[in-house]
């Protein structure tokens, strides 16, 4: 883990006393269990974990401002933390210091029906947010993450999700933010507005900034009318090229799916076996999972027929239509549990984003790298928006099961595989992250992805917003 530069100060007894005077003793935690539980996120690399010196849990924006003002005064690193569902080490306190947990700031401040807006605090979970929106008679279609992810973290990483193909990522829905800056000042860029050409859009700088420019404490988010009925189609193909060739006609025609994903046979078989369930298609090596939505069942029937016809025209072996709630839940449960099935033996999950036309070529290159290095690289992703997820595994796939490999058989090869996969993605006009963010893990590849000029501009922006470098230091890029 990074050695802490001398410009940063430790959390001493005086700092603890001042934190307790602002937050109350129960919201300032230094016990080993609290420090351990805040030392990592969902990333699989054990060696990047680091304990903070203290965890604080403010309940109001004014308390967040007081914590940051103290940290700026003393030069103490501060790592904002939400649901810790990230996969890139973005909320790991790599330089120790203060973990600023937003979990106690979990209120719905306002449901504005006239403007179709929800004003919510950063610690509200996605599950509770979507429930509040539904109770108000609206919807939030993107569903860009794990349901325990928190709104602040979703905005800080510009989360996407499989529904981005139709409804976009979370950036599209953020209308305003409340942000505490590094010195403790509070600003509220944006607002209950659809349009603004009033100066630089500071709000959009914070979206995707991973807590390096300011701490998001509240967001004003656009709600949409309720979604209609949904239906899922499973379309098997003999190979990835045939499957991907069907995607542009699906997106360019009258169907306009809610989500389009591609998934390989091995991943599906492994997950279905773990759940003791049967996948509805016994044939095919690659599947398109197409989710449709429409106002009523008649419209869904027509969309399903159109989507099935596109699939057959482009080499589909058959089309399974999950035309009841039970069948749809069965298919989507298997899909949703892929991560859990692979998690125990995963070294890293990539989320390379590519032009749609490059997906098939990238997946073929993955197969070549898999053979060259002897590692299993199960790959699936969002065929509708080009976001490809490759798991670099510490196990081989054998007879439907994972067989763990000794560390010497995968460690150095896994790191080389990461480099080769990123290089191929960049060569195809892609970027190294479509939705997970950069954090600690992808930091070494950022300049190769964006170029030195863009990264230097980002460093300049960071210095303006955070001149002492206390906010989530060491994430996205290193500072000179």
Contact 425, 362 (CB under 8 A): yes
Comparing 229-327 with 339-427, is the CATH topology the same?
A: yes
Task: Name the β-bridge partners of 236.
Answer: 287
Residue 1 pLDDT: 47
The rounded distance, in Å, linking the Cα atoms of 269 and 428 is 30
The rounded distance, in Å, linking the Cα atoms of 205 and 380 is 30
Cβ count within 10 A of residue 228: 14
CA 124 to chain centre: 16
Q: What is the DSSP string of 299-351?
A: HHHHHHHHHHHHHHHTT-S--EEE-SHHHHHHHHHHHHTHHHHHHTTEEEEEE
pTM (predicted TM-score):
0.94
**Beta strand extents in 30-171 (DSSP E only):** 54-56, 78-81, 98-101, 108-112, 117-121
Domain segments of the chain as ranges: 13-104, 108-222, 229-327, 339-427
Give the pLDDT of the chain (480 residues) as one tens digit per residue: 457 888 899 999 999 999 999 999 999 999 999 999 999 999 988 889 999 999 999 999 999 999 999 999 999 999 999 999 999 999 999 999 999 999 999 999 999 999 999 999 999 999 999 999 999 999 999 888 789 999 999 999 999 988 888 899 999 999 999 999 999 999 999 999 999 999 999 999 999 999 999 999 999 999 999 988 899 999 999 999 999 999 999 988 788 899 999 999 999 999 999 999 999 999 999 999 999 999 988 999 999 999 999 999 999 999 999 989 999 999 999 999 999 999 999 999 999 999 999 999 999 999 999 999 999 999 999 999 999 999 999 999 998 889 999 999 999 999 999 999 999 999 999 999 999 999 999 999 999 999 999 999 999 999 999 999 999 999 999 987
Indicate the length of the chain as a whole number.
480
Cα 477 to Cα 17, 70, 109, 249, distances in angstroms: 33, 25, 34, 39
Contact 452, 432 (CB under 8 A): no
Q: 229-327 is classed in which CATH architecture?
A: 2-Layer Sandwich (3.30)
Residue 321's contacts (CB-CB under 8 Å, 6 or more residues apart) are 231, 232, 233, 304, 308
Is the domain 13-104 a CATH 3.30.43.10 member? yes
The rounded distance, in Å, linking the Cα atoms of 22 and 145 is 33
Class of domain 108-222: alpha beta
The rounded distance, in Å, linking the Cα atoms of 333 and 327 is 10
Looking at the domain that runs over 339-427, which CATH code has it been given?
3.30.70.2740
Residue 422 pLDDT: 98
| Residues 373, 374, 378, 379, CA torsion sign | positive
Residue 255 pLDDT: 84
């Amino acid at each position: 883990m990074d050695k802490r530069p001398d410009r940063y100060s430790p959390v001493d007894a005086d700092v603890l006393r001042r934190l307790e005077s602002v937050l109350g003793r129960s919201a300032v935690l230094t016990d080993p269990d609290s420090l351990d539980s805040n030392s990592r996120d969902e990333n699989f690399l054990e060696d990047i974990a680091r304990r903070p010196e203290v965890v604080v849990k403010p309940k109001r924006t004014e308390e967040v401002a007081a914590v940051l003002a103290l940290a700026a005064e003393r030069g103490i690193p501060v790592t904002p933390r939400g649901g810790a569902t990230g996969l890139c080490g973005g909320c790991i306190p790599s330089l120790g210091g203060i973990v600023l947990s937003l979990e106690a700031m979990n209120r719905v401040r306002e449901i504005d029906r006239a403007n179709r807006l929800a004003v919510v605090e950063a610690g509200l979970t996605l599950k509770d947010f979507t429930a509040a929106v539904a109770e108000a008679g609206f919807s939030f279609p993107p569903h860009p993450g794990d349901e325990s992810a928190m709104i602040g973290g979703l905005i800080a990483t510009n989360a996407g999700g499989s529904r981005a193909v139709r409804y976009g990522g979370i950036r599209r829905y953020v209308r305003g933010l409340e942000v505490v800056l590094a010195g403790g000042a509070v600003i509220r860029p944006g607002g209950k507005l659809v349009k603004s050409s009033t100066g630089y859009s500071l709000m959009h700088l914070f979206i995707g900034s991973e807590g390096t420019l300011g701490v998001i404490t509240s967001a004003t988010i656009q709600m949409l009318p309720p979604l209609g009925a949904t239906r899922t189609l499973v379309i098997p193909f003999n190979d990835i090229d045939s499957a991907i060739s069907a995607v542009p006609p699906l997106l360019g025609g009258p169907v306009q799916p809610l989500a389009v994903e591609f998934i390989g046979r091995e991943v599906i078989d492994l997950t279905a076996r773990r759940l003791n369930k049967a996948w509805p298609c016994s044939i095919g090596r690659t599947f398109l999972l197409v989710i449709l939505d429409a106002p009523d069942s008649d419209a869904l029937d027509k969309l399903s027929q159109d989507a099935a016809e596109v699939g057959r025209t482009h080499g589909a072996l058959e089309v399974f239509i999950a035309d009841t709630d039970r069948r749809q839940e069965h298919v989507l449960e298997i899909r949703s549990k892929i991560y859990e099935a692979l998690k125990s033996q995963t070294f890293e999950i990539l989320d390379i984003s590519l032009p749609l036309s490059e997906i098939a070529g990238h997946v073929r290159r993955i197969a070549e790298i898999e053979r060259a290095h002897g590692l299993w690289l199960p790959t699936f992703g969002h065929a509708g928006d080009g976001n490809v997820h490759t798991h670099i595994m510490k196990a081989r796939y054998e007879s439907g099961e994972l067989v763990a490999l000794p560390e010497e058989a995968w460690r150095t090869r896994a790191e080389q595989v990461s480099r080769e996969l990123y290089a191929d993605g960049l060569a195809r006009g892609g970027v190294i992250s479509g939705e997970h963010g950069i954090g600690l893990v992808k930091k070494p590849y950022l300049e190769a992805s964006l170029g030195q000029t863009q990264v230097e501009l980002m460093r300049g922006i960071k210095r303006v917003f955070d001149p002492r470098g206390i906010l989530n230091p060491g994430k996205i890029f290193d500072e000179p």
